[in-house]
Structure formats: structure tokens, C-alpha cells
Amino acid sequence: MIILITNTSGSSAQVCRLQPYEEALGQLKNVRLLEGYALAEIGPVTVALPIEMGERLNPLIGQRIGVLRTEVDYRYRVMVPKPKIEVGSNFVGTEVKPAKVEAI
């Protein structure tokens, strides 16, 4: 859903509000606060999120993330880049680490 948010100085922003089980996925470019929302530029879209999400996402600027809205809260994850694997490489001792997922 696309909404228009206008602040008291008259500037406005066209943003997306996630529906339940909709996810925004991409590089986090910027996070700013506007009229009680955290506006996160994720990939090609700006997403309106609860203000407490801004504090959690701000340190992740520049990283590839996903933000998922559920029926009760928002969850985010940080995408870990896949390692380059060369033909004939040895996987012995290789550890696979899952991405971090947190609920708000």
C-alpha cells in the first residue's frame, strides 16, 4: 500500500506500508524519522515502519536486509553474502552461520 506522509513544514514523502506477510528486501540506504514513523529506504522503495525500528535498523545502513511484517509485529534479517567457491575447493572445517533474525 502506498501512502503519502506530510510533515508540519509541508514536505512530504511517498512511502510503502507493508501488509501482513509482505517483505521489503534490498540494500538499506537510509533511515530517517518523520511524524512518528521510521522511513527506511530499502532497495528501490521507502517503507514506513514503527519508530522503534529506526533505532534497530540505523546501524545496518549499507547492508542488504529484509523487513517482514507479520500479523503481530515486524521482523528483520541481515543477508549474509554467499562465499565464492572455486571448483575443487575443500569444504572440510567450513562452518555455516545462519542469518540473524529479530522480532520487534
Q: Kindly report, residue by residue over 36-49, the tens digit of the pLDDT.
A: 889 999 998 999 99
User: Does pLDDT of 93 surpass 60?
Assistant: no
pTM of the entire structure?
0.69
**What is the pLDDT of the chain when averaged over all its residues?**
81
d(CA 44, CA 30) in angstroms, rounded, equals 11
User: Does pLDDT of 88 surpass 90?
Assistant: no
pLDDT on residue 82: 72
Between 82 and 93, residue with greater pLDDT: 82
* Gap between the terminal Cα atoms of the chain: 21
